[in-house]
Chain A
Amino acid sequence: MTGESLSADRSVELRPKMVGKPIRRTEDPRLLTGSGRYVDDITPQGTLHLALRRSDVPHATIRSIDISAALATPGVLAVFDASALEGEILPAIPTSRMKGYYATPIWPLARGKVRYVGEPVVAIVAESRYAAEDALEGVIIEYDPLPFAIDPYDGAAPDAPLIHEEAGTNTIISREFARGEVDRVMEEAPVRVSGRFRMTRKTALAMEPRAYLAEWDRRQRALTLHTTSNIPGVIRDVLSECLDLLGNRLRVIAPDVGGSFGGKGSLYHEEMLVCALARKLERPIKYTTDRLEDLTATSQAFEEVMDAELAIDLDGRILGLRADVVGNIGAYSIYPWTAALEPVQVVSFMPGPYRFEHYRGRIRGVLTPKPPTGPYRGVGRPSSTMAMERLIEMAARKIGMDPVEIRRRNLVNDDEFPYRTASGIIWDKSAFQQCLEAACAKVDYPALVRARDAARAAGRWVGIGLASYAELTGIGSRISVAPGMPINTGVETANIRIDATGAITAAFGIASHGQGLETTLAQVVADEMGCKMEDVQVLHGDSGLVAMSSGTFASRSAVLAGGAATRSAHVVKAKVLRAASILLDVPVDDLDAYDGVVRARSANATLTFKEIAKAVYSQMGRIPREQREELTASETYDPFFGTACSSTHLAMVEIDPETYGVTISTYVVAEDCGRVINPLIVDGQVHGAVAQGVGAALLEEIMHNEDGQILTASLADYLAPLASNMPRIQIVHVEADLPATIGGFRGMGEGGTIGAPAAIANAISDALSPLGIEIDTLPATPERLFRLVEAARSRSAI
């Protein structure tokens, strides 16, 4: 390499990049000015509206359904029960290779029996939603009640009434992860701590509830579904089978989508229903859930009981962990993730970011007559991290060690990566230790401890809690996102083209629903291609864009789509440079592209991307026929394994010793998400996810009574965090060694919900430690704290 070209390369390196810049989201002008276009904003001429009569009993045989009064309601066109849909659509089967698993078939409407309060039974099609709702009470359903067990321990008993008789059991999920000799280690360990930890049922609570619009094109014999889904590609593929329509006659579009947090990440009864009805009636069919339906019939989260025990030595080193987890998975296994997604990951991730040999984690997933559980931001890890991080701090307290020090001694060190956890997950190198140190440095941990001790001496209930965790993100084709799930979510395509006007379009299989991927992927493309960011339009959320798509979930899109974008942009850029080389008569090695202009390093010659595109496509003869190339590329990226994203959260709380209200006074997140594409967006993801985690820790709980009826059926009862519940969140981005992914990106959209519940549970436990109270159930409501304190006081009074 000559000195000259070296300096030229250096000058290229010094050019400002888009990746890393805090660029404001290009989506926001439309979303914040009311110009977004959500499913419910789309109403083609002739649209019919749907209302659903849902089951009001938890488990019963349907004896009869009388729809005559409903049919006679003004504005009603048709009323369907399952029998009226026979032959219109096949069920979706959430298959898995897991041993002992039973895949509950998913039909649009309940057939023969109902299995939870809220399950759709009868569909009313009317000229307006008002008319459809008017007809709801005209539907008369007679049920023969069936016995049921609402508690999963009862449901797992051999003589329990079965939710799905075909399964032969309610325990459709059983897994065990084991390494070493945990029972012996437990027996011999000098220090053991244990608890029965409960993460109660939650819901994802997106601001936009689920909505679906299906249109049947009689001319093309083709169906278009507009859906609030974050997995439009997966939905296209499964509906293709259910409806027997090939992909060229079935298009699934997720337009602007107002959040999912996992709740819009599965196939729903209603999604199947609008498609079947639109084809049958040859009219557009729209269905929008209201908030009541969102709270009763969108997939819910967690509801796990975790019996967990940790063994350490007197130096605070972890010797072993064993856990027995029972998940109340609800009435169905959902498509495509299955009901194993959440509970199995509780035990596969419970060893966390720590180094130890001996482990056994068992999980049972039990069917009960409650709404199905499904993905929820963080999947499995909010629960597993809560249990593990509680145990870590309980152990530290028991041996009188600082909770930071005990983590320092057990977190996997830099020289130990790649590290295979006791459950078999492989962590690539990530800043486990550095995040812990960075969080402590940010808040001046020793000073914070002194402040806590001073407050405690003055009679105040103040506590500090931490949570360290790692999650697997950007998962490639080597590992299924859900256990034994047969569909591939490990590959992503970027289809990039420069058209004859010089416009750049980058189409993906992802489906951004709040992540700002139109901005971040344009940043990546602009850097790789040397074009202007504003010339790049990112298309996503449409099954028609690329041959195989899945969507946005499991912290995959920045890693997989970012990698695919890099590859395709690289190919297109090479084509642009080759064309420019011919047009300028300059060797291709002498050219580079930046900010939409191709420049020769050694000559005063430039061409814009637009000029090159015109020359290639529209100006005959400028490029010799045999050298002409389309300025397009469609490359894929499969990271094969995936990459760890690690973080430490640190919270300080104060509890009012009389009312038991909890205030979070300090909150810091130190995280390693690899190369930060856009710090504004990363910060936004952290803020939002921590808020969701605060909700899980202090407020949110879906409650059902013994009769299977939901008690939290409105937002007056299901309490989401408000701005007034939120602390100022400090964030430290630890950009340590970049992972081996293209671009060095790690996924980071979920982490806040993983760390916050554990950190807050630890901080509250620390605040209450003078009373000997350990938090084992979230949310830690004032009522629960009241009971814990009363019990502790009556214990000490004895």
Chain B
Amino acid sequence: MKPALLSYHCATSIEDAVAALAAAGGDGKIIAGGQSLMPMMNFRLVRPSVLVDINRIPGLDTITLRGNRLGVGALVRHRMTASDETIRSHIPILHGVMQHVAHLTVRNRGTFVGSLCHADPAAEMPMMTQFLNGTVHVAGPQGRRQVAVGDFITGSLTTDLASDEMVYEVDLDTFPEGTGWGFHEFARRHGDYALAAVAVTLEREAGVARRVRLAVMGLDDRSRRLAEVEAALEGEAPDAAVLDRALAALQANITPNGDLNASPEYRRHLANVLAKRAIADAWARAGERSRT
């Protein structure tokens, strides 16, 4: 379990990294935390000819609030996301989600953007980027571009990123104060990839839920928002009848996979359980706001 022969480039800037990728002729790979890449290289599932190390590029390790959006640089480690005060106050659901992400050693190295680019369908970062209407900031030889996350993630472990491009930042929605949130995940062991997870945010106005978001992950080949479930909850108080309609919509809009740890039937069952819990938490956490 040793990687194949490769060369190494320590990038000094985003442009330098992109140039190194371009010079590799489609065979280069960015390394930030390396928590998914290195095992894949050791299994020789990935064989970059050049490893472009972005860890020395200044300025990428920052979390920045810009109006109602929050930028996460390409060197923000999971540990930073989990402990950042701005995230705790402006995207409390993301703070909550981070408690489920991997283990201490992985969190110290792994990055938000790296996990997004890896696009594992059972990982929290791609899910939360979708949930938070993320915009992906990409640098390439032709300059910079911005991609909506829905266009960025194209499938399980695949993205829109070209072989000579790198993601240097993602920016995400923040929430107004009083937004309720719920996140429930089930894994065989704490920190493992989820068998299923559900994220919910909503605001509570005049006794009903508004601006409802609901996303699922771990069920099939990608995490996704479920507009039909959101619609079932929007403008309603989540009583038993509303919940039933929402869960029916959920069941109608997922096609879970089976694997070693969970059958499609069990994943379906879990999706309902976790959605119920996440909706209940979000409703309970939401502060009642007067209509203005």
Contacts and interface: CB of A to CB of B under 8 A. Distances in A.
Contact of A699 (B103, B189, B270, B273): B189
B75 to A, nearest CB: 25
A501 interface: no
A290 B1 CA distance: 6
Interface string A692-715: 000000010001000000011010
B260 A130 contact: no
Given A130-B2, A292-B43, A659-B270, A783 B189 contact: no
Contacts of B190: 722, 724-725
B193 interface: yes
Contacts of B273: 658-659
B1 A786 contact: no
A787 B269 CA distance: 11
B186 A291 contact: no
Contact of B260 (A291, A717, A725, A787): A717
Contacts of A20: none
A783 B262 contact: yes
B192 interface: yes
A717 B260 CA distance: 8
B5 interface: yes
Interface string A652-680: 00000011010000000000000000000
Nearest to B186: A659
Contacts of A484: none
Given A129-B2, A659-B273, A782-B266, A724 B193 contact: no
B248 interface: no
Q: Is the interface of B mostly helix, strand, loop or mixed?
A: loop
Contacts of B103: 722
B206 interface: no
B162 interface: no
A393 interface: no
Contacts of B23: none
A782 B260 contact: no
Nearest to B187: A661
Nearest to A703: B260
Contact of A722 (B3, B39, B189, B266): B189
Nearest to A658: B273
B1 A292 contact: yes
Contacts of A40: none
A716 interface: yes
Contacts of B193: 716
Nearest to A661: B186
A479 interface: no
> Contact size class for B?
20 to 34
Contacts of A658: 273
Nearest to A715: B39
A781 interface: yes
Contacts of A292: 1, 43
Contacts of A659: 186, 270, 273-274
Given A130-B2, A130-B5, A133-B2, A781 B188 contact: yes
Interface string B1-30: 111110000000000000000000000000
Interface in A343-362: none
Interface residues of A, number: 28
Given A129-B2, A658-B273, A782 B188 contact: yes
Interface string B169-198: 000000000000000001011111101000
A716 B4 CA distance: 22
Q: Max chain B CB contacts within 10 Å: which of A133, A699, A717? A: A133
A716 B273 CA distance: 25
A712 B193 CA distance: 15
B261 interface: yes
Contact of A783 (B3, B5, B266, B274): B266
A659 B274 CA distance: 8
Given A659-B273, A719-B189, A783 B2 contact: no
Nearest to B276: A658
A313 interface: no
A717 B2 CA distance: 20
A661 B44 CA distance: 35
A291 B103 CA distance: 19
Nearest to A291: B1
Interface string A122-145: 000000011001100000000000
Contacts of A722: 103, 189-191
A781 B2 contact: no
Nearest to A128: B2
Contacts of A783: 261-263, 266
Interface in B17-62: 39, 42-44
A782 B267 CA distance: 11
Contacts of B43: 292
Nearest to A724: B190
Contacts of B186: 659, 661, 782
B185 to A, nearest CB: 10
B266 A786 contact: yes
A133 B47 CA distance: 13
A699 B189 CA distance: 9
Nearest to A660: B266
A786 B260 contact: no
Interface string B54-97: 00000000000000000000000000000000000000000000
A781 B261 contact: yes
A203 to B, nearest CB: 15
Contacts of A133: 1-2, 44
Contacts of A714: 39
Given A716-B193, A722-B191, A724-B190, A782 B1 contact: no
13 contacts: A659-B274, A661-B186, A699-B188, A703-B260, A716-B193, A719-B188, A719-B192, A721-B189, A722-B103, A722-B189, A724-B189, A783-B261, A790-B265
Interface of A: 129-130, 133-134, 290-292, 658-659, 661, 699, 703, 711-712, 714, 716-717, 719, 721-722, 724-725, 781-783, 786-787, 790
Q: Which 10 A-B pairs have the closest CB atoms?
A: A290-B1, A724-B190, A658-B273, A786-B266, A130-B2, A659-B186, A133-B2, A722-B189, A783-B266, A719-B188
